Amino acid sequence: MFYNTTETPIALPGGPRRGTFRRVVTVIFIALIVGMIGGIVGSIGATHPLAMRWVPDGFYGVQQAGTQTSLYQGIGGVVYGQGVPPSEPLSAVKITAQSIGTPGALPLNSAGAVFQEAGPAVVQVIISGQTRGRRTPTASGSGVVVDERGYILTNYHVVAGANQIVVLFSTGDREAAQILGTDRGNDLALLKVNLPSDIPVTRLGDSDQVYVGEVAIAIGSPFGLAQTMTQGIISAVGRDWHTGSSSFQDLIQTDAPINPGNSGGPLLNANAEVIGITSMIESPIAGSVSIGFAIPINKAKVLLPQLETGAHLQRPWLGIRGMNVDQALAEEQGLTVQHGVLVTRVVANSSAAKAGIQGASGRNTYAGDVITAFEGQRVAKLTQLIELLSQYQPDDAVRVTIVRMDEVVDVYVILQAWPDA
């Protein structure tokens, strides 16, 4: 409990004492002097060049320290560890347009200027699907307008299995969309809509020029919240990222917060150019921990002509999980080679399984086959196997060289297309 300790002053006979009056005058005089000095210092600080360098171009500089993030290694079907692919939320889908605002003039290359230019071209992709004859709840992702003909680029996993697709524009307009083309292996899809006349087309940048430390801005619909912008930097380039059934190479890594629902939206640079399509996050929780990945826009630009024609591109799938072999692993597992990919698991009914490739077995303590060559080309690690595999098509027959125990064996594999799930 608080008590009021204020006391009522008692008036002294004959008015206030002279000493008191002098003290009051002195306090007032000191206060005036301090105020004048503060005003002078403030005006100097506001105009001094150093005071204008803290936030160049409207962006906050970020410097990261510490060790490099360790990522899961593997291949579309060749994986160890566990990744958590993003899934779009099945609730809280916003179908009301969010105002992007119209602030006054903004400095060139500021985050606000990027949002004003690129934001209106970012859309919310709302889907409903059908599973085992029953309609699934509504889910949402993001997309970006890349052509005045009404072409919208998004992720394959956003629209996979969709029975109906509706695109919500920043203006509040809603249009039905159809899937024009897909590339499951690169997690890209191209949609076609009747584009409202007041919706702009984004400018596509050059992802080969992206550098670590560069400003990165993501716009999308995380958790159904349309027209949400987040900002960070480019954390790394050329990343490989893998899950139990998927593998992606040469990704852009960013610490700009990316959450479920951002998938398919653009990652932009300070010039409002699209440098990537946000696709996935690495997170032990259902939210952002500042490790997000985007598909380089240059990869999408190469594929767009094929997707426009209605192509549904497929990549071959080997169907194994594995890990890089080095000297330490070879000694630990008693392997006779110190390079290649150790097969830790073979997916049932996959290309590898049908060809007789063997994974680890706990019953006989067999570590697994080691893939050392692919079509006669030496394989030292998983990324090389990924690259070699990507040069072939489903139904191609390839020669895979393995080391089993002390024996070198050539196995002939008929490649399958990636499974839908």
CB 88 within 8 A of CB 264: no
CB 113 within 8 A of CB 147: no
| Catalytic-residue membership of 235 | no
Catalytic position from the list 142, 263, 279, 288 = 263
Residue the block writes with tokens 């916003």: 94
Helical (H) or strand (E) element with 374:
strand 370-374
Q: Contacts from 342-347 at CB under 8 Å and sequence distance 24+? A: 342/367, 342/368, 342/369, 342/370, 343/368, 343/369, 343/370, 343/371, 343/402, 344/80, 344/368, 345/320, 345/321, 346/319, 346/320, 346/321, 347/77, 347/319, 347/320, 347/321
Catalytic position from the list 142, 157, 279, 369 = 157
Angstrom distance (rounded) from CA 76 to CA 321: 9
CB 145 within 8 A of CB 152: yes
Catalytic position from the list 140, 170, 183, 187 = 187
Distance of CA 198 to the CA centre of its chain: 28
- Residue 306, number of CB atoms within 10 A of its CB: 14
| Catalytic-residue membership of 290 | no
Angstrom distance (rounded) from CA 406 to CA 385: 22
Angstrom distance (rounded) from CA 81 to CA 85: 13
Q: Tokens standing for 323?
A: 């890990």
| Catalytic-residue membership of 128 | no
| Residues contacting 359, CB < 8 A, separation 6+ | 320, 321, 343, 344, 345, 346, 368, 369
C-alpha distances out from residue 396 to 211, 316, 327, 418, 419, Å: 37, 8, 33, 13, 16
Cα within 13 Å of Cα(169), Cβ side: 21
**Positions marked catalytic:** 157, 187, 263
